[in-house]
Amino acid sequence: MNAPVQDGLHGQPHAIVERDGVRYTLLGTAHVSQASVDAVRDAIGSGAYDAVAVELDPQRLQALTDPDALARLDLIQVLRTGKTALFAANLALAAYQRRLAEQLGIEPGAELKRAVLEARQRELPVHLIDREVGLTFKRASSKLGWWGRAKLGSGLIAALIADEEVGEDEIEKLKQGDVLESSFGEFASESPELYESVISERDRYMAARLRESHGDAREVLAVVGAGHLQGLAQHLREETRAPETVREELESLPKKSDFPWFTLILSVFVLGGFAWGFWRGGIDVGSDLLLQWVLATGVLGAIGCAVAGGHPLSILVAFVASPITPLHPALASGTLSALTEAWVRKPTYADFMALRDDVQSVRGWWRNRVARVLLNFFLTSLGTAIGVWTGGLRMLGKLIG
């Protein structure tokens, strides 16, 4: 239940929870409101708090306070470590926030940034209590089926390239909700699995982080989106498990089978088909099966790379890699062609700095070298996947014909 209005809170929604000798003042903010920025500034300036906690993770804080951080990114390392999809998700979030900032005249999350700067200016401890966006995205994705992941991906792509104004209804929801939830569009409200990962889990996570990180402070101000206020207060009051246990549970990813069953089955089918062709039909039939597989996967993978505006060497790598990588669990044609593209046409500082603006137009995706590497990865992978099904079906027709 909300406590009486306190000095410095400007009538903003808030709750006070006392636990284990610590009083937590939870200040619910709108991520697109100047009134929330003012409330944060005055609350910290009142001198009533020993520590400040904010709904941020280190990566999001860096994006808010260090605009040049993106330009220092090692894109090749992102590709090598398999974080391309997560990079694209973060880029989609940044593009959505940029649209809001341009439309409303205030940077989404400005009150969170103000909380950190005001606390540091007064030499108060600052605790970042939100879960990393990458972990949230991975946990959400792991709970969705194939169709759900496709819708999630399409929603992120739409956030990247959309340039129309954000609707009034969406803005009103954002004032009482969460910017991460809003960036996924209507899919978040339609998908219980996504809502659980994006909102409910983060309520529990932030409650655990508050209990875990307060240190010697006895008066803690926690600045969070208004959409988290009720759930966060509830978990802060009622959770009985150790905060470390809750945090570790919500940072883990669902265990998947380490054995690459699909790759094994595909490899047995393809290689077995080649062997059967050479054994039963001789060199003519075997060579024909091999040629059809190479052409189906290689040509379509290369076409995907070419559509992405890939360098001729990247296209050649896509053609060579696409027939092979589907049979190897640790290789991906999209990764290899994108690595080649990033090596041949190394993105410049200007490409990184212009990235958030360029990805909001179709032409900008092909003009910006960073965006073109991402296109290379996704379109080469898509072409190879289509080629696998095309080549596989042709081979099956030959084998049973």
294/210 same-domain check: no
User: Is residue 95 in a domain?
Assistant: yes
User: Is residue 3 in a domain?
Assistant: no
Q: Is the pLDDT of residue 247 over 90?
A: yes
User: Is residue 380 in a domain?
Assistant: yes
Rounded Cα distance between 26 and 209, Å, is 13
124/273 same-domain check: no
Percent of the chain having pLDDT more than 90?
A: 39
pTM score of the predicted model = 0.71
308/392 same-domain check: yes
Rounded Cα distance between 217 and 213, Å, is 9
When pLDDT is cut at 50, 70 and 90, the band that residue 323 belongs to is very high
User: Is residue 5 in a domain?
Assistant: no
Last residue of a domain, one of 218, 251, 284: 251
67/116 same-domain check: yes
195/68 same-domain check: yes
Mean pLDDT of 345-351: 86
Are 13 and 229 contacting, i.e. CB atoms less than 8 angstroms apart?
yes
Q: Is the pLDDT of residue 4 over 50?
A: no
**Domain assignment of residue 374, given as a range:** 261-400
38-60 tens-digit pLDDT: 899 999 999 999 999 999 998 88
193/80 same-domain check: yes
Q: Give which of 320, 323, 322, 317 is closest to 337, Cα–Cα.
A: 317
Domains in the chain, number = 2
Q: Is the pLDDT of residue 6 over 60?
A: no
The pLDDT value given to residue 101: 67
User: Is residue 179 in a domain?
Assistant: yes
Residue 29, helix vs strand vs coil: strand
197-238 tens-digit pLDDT: 777 889 999 999 999 988 889 999 999 988 888 899 999 999
247/357 same-domain check: no
Q: Is the pLDDT of residue 173 over 90?
A: no
User: Is residue 323 in a domain?
Assistant: yes
Last residue of a domain, one of 196, 225, 251: 251
State both tokens at 21: 């000798």
Mean pLDDT of 170-181: 56
Q: Which residue has the higher pLDDT, 331 or 317?
A: 317
Last residue of a domain, one of 192, 221, 251: 251
Helix axes 84-104, 369-400, angle to 10 degrees: 130
284/216 same-domain check: no
State both tokens at 349: 């500082």
Q: Is the pLDDT of residue 1 over 60?
A: no
80/199 same-domain check: yes
Chain centre to alpha carbon of residue 145? 17
User: Is residue 163 in a domain?
Assistant: yes
User: Is residue 287 in a domain?
Assistant: yes
Q: Which residue has the higher pLDDT, 379 or 284?
A: 379
* Helix intervals (H) in 186-326: 186-190, 192-195, 201-213, 229-238, 243-251, 261-307, 312-321
179/208 same-domain check: yes
21: left (phi over 0), alpha (psi -120 to 50) or beta: left
333/230 same-domain check: no
The pLDDT value given to residue 5: 40
319/390 same-domain check: yes
Q: Which residue has the higher pLDDT, 87 or 29?
A: 29
